[in-house]
Amino acid sequence: MLDRISMIFCSLLILVLALACSKPSNNSDSNPPMAQPTLHSQDSIANLPLTYATFLSQILQPRCLHCHNPQGTDSDAAQVLLFPYATLLKHKSWFPENIEQSKLIKMITRTDEYRMPPPEDGAPLSNEEIQFIRQWLLAGHPE
């Protein structure tokens, strides 16, 4: 019984240390942290925390940060940085009171060649991903 409790305690300690080490820095030139919440094939983004960490790990990292980063090859996209959180908040036009007026919502719901992500970079965001972003904005875009 004591061995089982020791094993559980060690596992929890490792998890806490791993989470503490993955906290994003305030340096906008640094790479984004590895994803904290992760989806499994049967999960839905709607079941994950409504936070920037989820937005970052589930949408921004896989779909956006390859262009929207300081080292990106697309100079226009590199001007719109999405990491870290404090840098994202500088895009004031993304956070109006009426979220349907959000430039972010407008860009990801476009159906022409100017949508984000652009057609050459793959499929548009799913309805579920767009709904997550809307809910995140409505919730006050929590970190």
Residue 42, pLDDT score: 47
* Structural domain count of the chain: 1
11 inside domain: no
140 inside domain: yes
In angstroms, the CA 75 to CA 120 distance is: 16
Residue 40, pLDDT score: 47
Max Cα–Cα distance, the chain, nearest Å: 62
Are 83 and 61 a contacting pair, CB within 8 Å? Answer: no
Domain with 136 in it:
48-143
Residues 44-62 have pLDDT tens digits of: 899 999 999 999 999 999 9
92 inside domain: yes
Helix H or strand E encompassing 88: helix 85-88
Residue type for position 131: Q
Alpha carbon separation from 25 to 86, 93, 122 (Å, rounded): 10, 24, 29
34 inside domain: no
- DSSP-based three-state secondary structure for 87: helix
In angstroms, the CA 52 to CA 88 distance is: 10
pLDDT at 77 over 80: yes
In angstroms, the CA 88 to CA 59 distance is: 14
Q: Write down the mean pLDDT value for the chain.
A: 80
Nearest CA among 33, 131, 141, 30 for reference residue 90: 141
pTM above 0.75, yes or no: no
29 inside domain: no
Are 99 and 105 a contacting pair, CB within 8 Å? Answer: yes
Which residues in the chain belong to E strands, given as ranges?
none
10 inside domain: no
